Amino acid sequence: MGQRSPRAPRILRLTAIGLVVLIIGVWVGGHASWLPSPLRSTVLGDSQARLVHQVLEDIQADYFRKVNRTQLVNSGLVAMIASLHDPFSHYFSPSVYKNLFSPQHLNGIGVDVTATRDGLQVVEVYAGYPAARAGLQPGDVIIKVGSTSLAGHSGAFAQGLIRGRAGTPVVLTYLDGRRRHVVTITRAHISVPIDVSRIISYHAVKLGYVELSTFDQPGAGSYVRADVEQLLQEGAKGIILDLRDNGGGLVTEAIKTASIFLPAGSTIASIHGRNTPRQVFTATGDPISAKIPVVVLVDGDTASASEIVTAALQDDHRALVVGTHTFGKGVFQDSFSLPGGGVLEIVAGYYYTPSGRNLGGGGVKRGAGVTPNVYAAENPDSSADHQLGVALKTLAAEAR
């Protein structure tokens, strides 16, 4: 064994001193009002940071009732993001983020919802789950969770309040038309598949149907690939990819899904922003035969990652798009983990289809989205799925 370097004791001493300074710095950061003014300015940084800290200190010290500093900070951050007037940027407090994105995120009440100005409108109530037992119906609007009004909040924030540990109660206020209801619902583990597939025979032509409800879940692209390959083995002559009501999710899963149909190296989308260099996403290979016709079924709630897939297949002339104009989101977000477990999600730039289209309306405004090749609106007065019928007719014509 060789001799220890004579520099080692000095390094150890410096390390110990550094740790002491770090501990003191952390303590001072939480008790900066104890410092003389010149030192306080040095520790806290710029004037805006000092202003925010002073307001927090004054509220904690002199407000007529005791307040929770953490809740104050979280509320302030939510308001800060709200001031951007950007529906795609969010601050998730540690508790909301945990409820929304942790492995327990499927613990809830068993509804599919869409965000509105007043709260969350119920789109579907899953049979056998707590919401159904409590009497919620499609069309109801959830306006409060506990004492928190949902008006003006993002859908992600509202859903984060509803979700939580299975077996715990959540109090909801919802509107059934003009009538107001208050119910206490016990959360449960919700197991709802994100993909559904089947063979549909249309005028003696076997067609494969795959519905994907979200790209939020890791593995979504693999689920679609397995469904498509199974349907082709069963004799499907074409594939319908139903992305209606799919609000998007992980871009990585969108790339995997588009790669099922596009040749390796094909451009799927590109992004760039003020601080984000241009990046091009391409198909990863192993597509199904180009001779298999494809139809993508969309509506006004087909958004984000779903629009990326739809536009890529349309631009490459790999699929016909059936339905109505899609949502029209032309921006992407970056996420940042914050001290304490919170997460900041902000719009970082624009994304473009392979042909160079941006689907948004400028900035964070909704745009025209993807224009379908075959327009088909849903008929609210009929129980039949008119859009699916048009998609089947369109695909069968291509498959003959």
- CA–CA gap between residue 33 and residue 50 (Å, rounded): 10
- CA–CA gap between residue 141 and residue 210 (Å, rounded): 29
If you count DSSP H runs as helices and E runs as strands, how many of each does the chain have, helices first?
A: 11, 19
Alpha-carbon separation of residue 36 from 20, 39, 45, 59 (angstroms)? 21, 6, 14, 20
Are 115 and 137 contacting, i.e. CB atoms less than 8 angstroms apart? no
- CA–CA gap between residue 395 and residue 355 (Å, rounded): 24
- CA–CA gap between residue 44 and residue 31 (Å, rounded): 11
Count CA atoms within 13 Å of residue 338 on its CB side: 17
**Tokens matching residue 192:** 């709802």
Q: Are strands 179-186 and 169-176 parallel, antiparallel or unpaired?
A: antiparallel
- CA–CA gap between residue 253 and residue 309 (Å, rounded): 10
Residues labelled as active-site residues: 304, 329
28 SS3 class: helix
Are 120 and 141 contacting, i.e. CB atoms less than 8 angstroms apart? yes
CB proximity list for 384: less than 8 A, separation 6 or greater: none
197 SS3 class: strand
250 SS3 class: coil
